[in-house]
Chain A
Amino acid sequence: MSADDEVGFEPAPDSEACAYTDYARGDAPEEYPKTGEGATGAEREIWDALYEVEDPEMPVSVVDLGLIYGVRVEDAAAAGADGKRAVVEMTLTYTGCPAREMLLNDVRCAAMTAGDVDDADVRLRYSPPWNVNMVTERGRERLRDFGLSV
């Protein structure tokens, strides 16, 4: 009999089993999630495009998941180029995210669909660390429809 078998079928009342699937922990830091509220011009267009980028594992946009930390459009002259450059700052739900390259690429392509934008940079940030309370209310509804308990 393995050690695992010794765990009874009914968890003890004080059991901490499945503590790691408790997605309710954590607070949303001030000013998060960023939703693009009040953005105008090319930045507005980028936020709208980002609402179309979905997490590859769940039918919810990267904005509603709370992954986008900032969008700005600046003159690319500083980087020695012409035209306008978009800079999108975002995070990942966890560092080992296997969809990292796909998400970064999708976000970059979305940013480049804005009319005035000639190039886009996507930068990963890990502060504040993402937690589920950074998901928007609409994101929660989508996740609940998808069958997740949030």
Chain B
Amino acid sequence: MTSTLGPDDLGDRERGAVEELLFRLADDEFVAAERYTEWQIYAPSLESDLALANIAQDELGHARLWYDLLQEFGYAEPDLVWERDPAEWTHSTLVELPFEEGDWADVIVRSYLYDTAEHLRLEALVGTSYAPIADRVGKAIAEENYHREHAQSWLERLAGDPGSESHERVQAALDRLFPHALTLFEPGPREDDVVDLGFRTETLDDLRTEWFEIAIPYLESLDLDVPDPEETALPEPVGRDGTHTDAWFELYEEFTHTYEDLGRPEPIRLRGEGA
């Protein structure tokens, strides 16, 4: 499909669909990064600490790619992040869950499930009809490959010895996170428009099927029991519709604390106008 549409070419229907698509992308990345940074200085080794910090930085960069495009519709940064009602965020519940204390298996399983889905989703945006997304998606895809390699390299070490404590912890994390990962593919109200208008070239159902085809055999190859998707109920809050676990609202309070309480509504400018 030819990318011809820019922000000024969209009618209400098109704009609504692009916004829904961008908010889901940006919110997922922002909240995932917010959780990853909790591991700073606590990861099991210096290398793993740096690697996860780097992944978090990438995800924040990607969140900004997509929030930037929302700003082209007239939103300012506070509308998108610092002053946005937390009940309007549409990230998957997978990325908002707190980690079980000290549970490195959780972050590794979470990252594997998330980044595998993320890769499929970005690939389905390469042929988007919305030119600003097409311009940016290749850069994000190139930066994401490392995330999956990192997760798989750790998974293979942690789960390599069935019966060991680390294998059991990976299994427990998988059991806990898998239902939440399914919410990645829950549609929003404008999902049909997103696909019909060519903003994403695959349906969420197709992306979920591909995700199953990659993730399930891989996890089973590590002697892990993957919950049967047919028999796995979605969690009560699914995230995509603005319903979230209590942990999200606490996290939101935490990361907006400085903005709210310290009277720093604008970033400090180091030089140039307004400095």
Give the contacts of B123-165 with A (CB-CB under 8 A): 134-136, 138-140, 142-143, 146, 157-158
Main secondary structure of the interface of B (DSSP, over half): helix
- CB of B65 within 8 Å of the partner chain: yes
Known: A101-B267, A108-B272. A96 touches B47 (CB 8 A): no
Binds B, one of A31-39, A125-133, A136-144: A125-133
Once bound together, how far apart are the Cα atoms of A87 and B57, in whole Å? 29
The listed residue (A3, A20, A98, A124) touching B68 by CB distance below 8 A is A124
A124 contacts which chain B residues (CB < 8 A)? 68
A1 vs B136: C-alpha distance when bound (angstroms): 42
Q: Does A109 belong to the interface (CB within 8 Å)? A: yes
User: Whole-angstrom distance from the CB of B110 to the nearest CB of chain A?
Assistant: 19
Name the B residues within 8 Å of A2 (CB-CB).
44-45
Residue contact B58 to A95, C-beta cutoff 8 Å: yes
B264 contacts the other chain (CB 8 A): no
In the complex, A105→B58 CA distance in Å? Answer: 22
B65 CB, min distance to chain A CBs, angstroms = 6
**B residues in contact with A127, CB < 8 Å:** 134-136, 138-139
User: What separation, in Å, do the CA atoms of A101 and B77 have in the docked complex?
Assistant: 14
Q: How far is the CB of B220 from chain A (nearest CB, A)?
A: 22
Contact B270 A20 (CB under 8 A): no
A15 CA to B142 CA, complexed, in Å:
21
Chain A 90-128 near chain B by CB (<8 Å), digits 1 or 0: 000011111011100110110000000000000011110
Q: How far is the CB of A50 from chain B (nearest CB, A)?
A: 15
A145 CB-CB contact with B under 8 Å: no
- Contact residue among B138, B140, B269, B272 (Cβ-Cβ distance under 8 Å from A106): B272
B35 on interface, CB distance cutoff 8 Å = no
List the A residue with the shortest CB-CB distance to B156: A3
In the assembled complex, B119 has its CB within 8 A of some CB on chain A: no
Q: Which residues of A contact B18 (CB under 8 A)?
A: none
Contacts A20-B146, A124-B68; A95 near B139 (Cβ below 8 A): yes
Please indicate the chain B residues that have their CB under 8 angstroms from the CB of A129 in the complex: 138-139, 142
Q: Are B272 and A105 in contact (CB under 8 A)?
A: yes
Evaluate contact between B271 and A96: CB separation under 8 angstroms: no
CA A108 to CA B45, docked complex, whole Å: 41
- 17 CB contacts below 8 A, A to B, read A2-B45, A20-B146, A95-B61, A95-B65, A95-B143, A96-B57, A97-B61, A100-B64, A101-B267, A102-B270, A102-B271, A124-B68, A125-B135, A126-B135, A126-B136, A126-B138, A127-B136
A-contacting residues of B (Cβ < 8 Å)?
Answer: 44-45, 47-48, 57-58, 60-62, 64-65, 68, 134-136, 138-140, 142-143, 146, 157-158, 267, 269-273
14 other A-B residue contacts (CB within 8 Å) besides A3-B158, A96-B57, A129-B138 = A4-B45, A94-B143, A95-B61, A95-B64, A95-B140, A98-B57, A101-B267, A102-B270, A102-B271, A105-B273, A126-B65, A126-B136, A126-B139, A127-B139
